[in-house]
Chain A
Amino acid sequence: MNAIFTAVFIASAILLCFADPNAFLPALLDGAEQAATTFLTLFCIYTVWMGLSRVAADSGINGAIAKKMQPLCFKFFRTKSALGAQYAAMNITCNVLGLGGAATPFGIKAMKQFDGEGNLFGRNLLFILNATSVQIIPSTVIALRASFSSASPADVFAPALITTAICTGTAVALYFFTDKICRSLSRRSS
């Protein structure tokens, strides 16, 4: 990320010096403003779901759900952290139910838990699951197509679902595979 960030910053700054130097600072401020509005959106999502999640946790519901999902998560993410497995379980449950906004806070908490115990494998795997789009119903796109008077707005549902399924599967398999290679290489060199 550091390399990409530095390269993009320097390259665009130089290009803008020639094209439109006055656009440079507004672009940065625009980005910051976008971060501020995103913060507000995220804060709203978080307060709702973290508030509810805390109520659920205090009444022992989270524990009960997670207990069912946990064995699977322990194995899948190779974690020993009960809390991490619980958050990951909630993240996946929310994603499958199509509650993308609710899934994010749990996902980030699980990432921190996995990272804290030095479990890079689980952390990376959870990121891959979330970054390859686990959304099941593309509601935004369907709404947009309807607004452009499409004959069948939900047409894209099947291809999008198939694509998502194949690509998420491929990414997970690829990660398992490359992780294994990296491990055996580092073992050989050490």
Chain B
Amino acid sequence: MSLIIPSVFIIVITIAAARKVNVFSSFCAGAEEGLKFTLSLVPVLAAVFMMCKLFEISGIADALAAALSPAMRALGVPGELAKLALIKPFSGSGSLSLLTEVLEKYGADSYVSRCACTIYASSETVFYVFALYFAGTDKKGRALPLAVVLLSTILSTCLSCMLCRVL
């Protein structure tokens, strides 16, 4: 597996050199394109990250987690994981620190921890991907895919816990 990336570089650069492409200037042109691209994303990222931070420190996340934990228990998700499930769509680093807490508290091989790991591994930071991918595109028709993805995230949370019980 670890050989994939170096081999890709070797293959591409060898073929480029064989076809008499100026590898250095092509690479620099690509890097410049990359810079322009990332720069255009920064304002959106800043706004979304601010929102996520506020969501966490204002206590809304905790309150929602407390309110949702009975419903989650009904769906088969351990109540202790309500906060993780809630933060995961917003913040990768936030949910990672929560996951670490859970592993520390319950031990790596407990049911709760295995659930937490599966939830973490099988879902994305939806709002982050949303901000990144939709930055600078037409505002029309964004709501439907977001709703679909959020639904599937809920499904993946429940399924994770179910599968952890069986497997």
Residues of A in contact with B (beta carbons under 8 Å apart): 1, 4-5, 8-9, 11-13, 15-16, 19-20, 23-24, 27-28, 30-32, 34-36, 38-39, 42-43, 46-47, 49-61, 97-99, 104-105, 107-109, 111-112, 115, 118, 120, 123-128, 130-133, 135, 138, 140-141, 144-145, 148-153, 155-156, 158-160, 162-164, 166-168, 170-171, 174-175, 178-179, 182
Contact of A55 among B13, B59, B130, B137 (CB under 8 A): B13
Which of B16, B135, B145, B146 has most chain A Cβ within 10 Å? B145
Q: Label chain B's interface by main secondary structure.
A: helix
Once bound together, how far apart are the Cα atoms of A83 and B108, in whole Å?
Answer: 46
Given A34-B53, A130-B129, A141-B121, is A12 in contact with B151 using a C-beta cutoff of 8 Å?
no
In the A-B complex, the 3 residue pairs with the smallest Cβ-Cβ separation, listed nearest first, are: A54-B30, A46-B34, A12-B58
The number of inter-chain residue pairs (CB within 8 angstroms) is 286
Task: State whether B100 touches A52 (Cβ < 8 A).
Answer: no
- The reply on B73 being an interface residue by CB < 8 A is no
Complex alpha-carbon distance, A139 and B47, angstroms: 29
B132 touches A104 (CB 8 A): yes
Known: A35-B49, A39-B45. A111 touches B137 (CB 8 A): yes
B26, B35, B130, B148 interface centre (most CB from chain A within 10 Å): B148
Is A8's CB under 8 angstroms from B60's CB? yes
Say whether B122 contacts A124, CB under 8 Å: no
State which residues 79-99 of B face A: CB under 8 Å.
Answer: 93, 96, 99
- Chain B count of residues within 8 A CB distance of the other chain: 89
Contact with A along B124-163 (1 / 0, CB 8 A): 1010011111111110111011101101110110011001
- Evaluate whether A163 and B163 lie within 8 angstroms (CB atoms) in the complex, with A127-B149, A148-B104, A171-B151 already known: yes
A43 and B34 form a contact (CB under 8 A)? yes
Q: Does B4 contact A (CB under 8 A)?
A: yes
A56 to B33, CA, bound (A): 14
Selected from B16, B37, B46, B104, the residue in CB contact (under 8 A) with A56 is B16
Residue of A nearest to B164 (CB): A159
What is the bound-complex CA distance between A58 and B28, given in angstroms?
12
Which residue of B is nearest A150, CB measured?
A: B108
Most buried by A among B4, B22, B123, B130: B123
Are the C-beta atoms of B133 and A107 separated by less than 8 Å? yes
Q: Contact at A11–B60, with CB atoms within 8 Å?
A: yes
- Docked Cα-Cα span, A111 to B93, in Å, equals 25
- Alpha-carbon distance A130/B132, docked complex (angstroms): 11
CB nearest neighbor in A for B16: A59
The docked-state distance in angstroms from the alpha carbon of A112 to that of B137 is: 6
Contacts of B37-55 to chain A: CB distance below 8 A:
37-39, 41-42, 45-55
Say yes or no: B33 contacts A50, CB within 8 Å: yes
User: Considering the chains assembled together, what is the distance between the CA atoms of A30 and B99 in angstroms?
Assistant: 21
Q: Is the CB of A108 within 8 A of B135?
A: yes
Q: Is the CB of A124 within 8 A of B145?
A: yes
Partner of B130, one of A28, A43, A127, A133: A127
Option from A20, A38, A135 in Cβ contact (under 8 Å) with B121: A135
Closest to B135 in A: A108
Does B23 sit within 8 A of A, measured CB to CB? yes
* Chain A CB within 10 A, most for which of B118, B130, B144: B118
Q: Does B74 contact A (CB under 8 A)?
A: no
